[in-house]
Amino acid sequence: MRSHVLHIPLGKKEPMPSLDGAVVLVTGANGGIGTHFVQDALARGAVKVYATARSPRAWDDDRIVPLTLDITDRASIDAAVAAAADVTVLVNNAGAIPPSASLLDVTEADIRANMETNFFGPVFLARAFAPILAAKKGSVLIDVHSVASWYAFGGAYSASKAALWSATNSLRIEFAPMGVHVTGVHMGYVDTGMAAHADGPKMLPTQLVTTVYDAVEAGEYEVLADELTKGVKAALSGPVEALYPDLHSTDT
């Protein structure tokens, strides 16, 4: 078995990442989780946080720099790179859900728009900030995925988060020799506006962000933030019908 596993040499070991003294940029900073990525970074010693949004708001803290950034807009990304050339921690948090979880019912434009926000946006942002992150050893990229990367309940959303998960894995390998640590985040429902429609257990945004920053500072590569997510990832190695048991009851 081992002989079939592709070995990718990653070069020198990265220094342990830390939020202490960091300059952080958070996308979707006005959102339920983004707000906590901003505030909790400061609590851990970050010296500056760029709180980016399509419509930035005022923050009552001199260490927080509001910055306009639409992650689907090339010119907006370029302007953010120019305005925030000292970033050491990039948090790709912004995301969106399509109007329907059905991949058959949404429009083609909705599918493309969701890929723009959840896949192309974070990937192009990581590429644009790559030279800045690589300039400081111990820099960090955090990509926020979802349990939906591994469980197809969200149609275009699940597909976009699966694509981002794959890109994160590629970026991790490419960034490692540059001393840039890459952490991917997967979780079930979090109590924010995005999950307002959902029933069932939701973790608090502050719990999630604490878990993510703890993992980053422990040098971990992947966050599975709840039991649901851990179960789904483990089930991927089994047959597909075990992950989707309703398939058998709907067979004709």
Ligand X SMILES: NC(=O)c1ccc[n+]([C@@H]2O[C@H](COP(=O)([O-])OP(=O)(O)OC[C@H]3O[C@@H](n4cnc5c(N)ncnc54)[C@H](OP(=O)(O)O)[C@@H]3O)[C@@H](O)[C@H]2O)c1
> Active-site residue numbers?
157, 161
First to last CA, the chain: 38
Which residues neighbour 110 within 8 Å (Cβ) at sequence distance 6 or greater? 98, 99, 100, 156
Helix (H, G, I), strand (E, B) or coil at 62: coil
Nearer to ligand X, 46 or 185 (CB): 185
Helix (H, G, I), strand (E, B) or coil at 151: coil
Nearer to ligand X, 146 or 183 (CB): 146
Least Cβ distance, residue 251 to ligand X (angstroms): 30
Buried b (16+ CB within 10 A) or exposed e, 47-61: ebbbbbbeebeebee
Which residues neighbour 180 within 8 Å (Cβ) at sequence distance 6 or greater? 14, 130, 133, 134, 139, 140, 141
Least Cβ distance, residue 244 to ligand X (angstroms): 19
Joined together, the tokens standing for residue 4 give 């079939």
User: Angle of helix 108-115 relative to helix 156-175, nearest 10 degrees?
Assistant: 30
CB neighbourhood size of 66 (10 A): 17
Nearer to ligand X, 17 or 28 (CB): 28
Degrees (nearest 5) of the Cα angle 169, 174, 18?
A: 80
Least Cβ distance, residue 108 to ligand X (angstroms): 18
Least Cβ distance, residue 25 to ligand X (angstroms): 12
CB neighbourhood size of 15 (10 A): 13
Nearer to ligand X, 54 or 137 (CB): 54
Nearer to ligand X, 96 or 243 (CB): 96
Degrees (nearest 5) of the Cα angle 24, 174, 94?
A: 40
Least Cβ distance, residue 216 to ligand X (angstroms): 16
Footprint on this chain of ligand X (rule: CB under 6 A) = 27-28, 30-34, 53-55, 69-72, 93-96, 117, 121, 144, 146, 187, 189-190, 192-195
Q: Is the dihedral of CA 131, 171, 231, 99 positive or negative?
A: positive
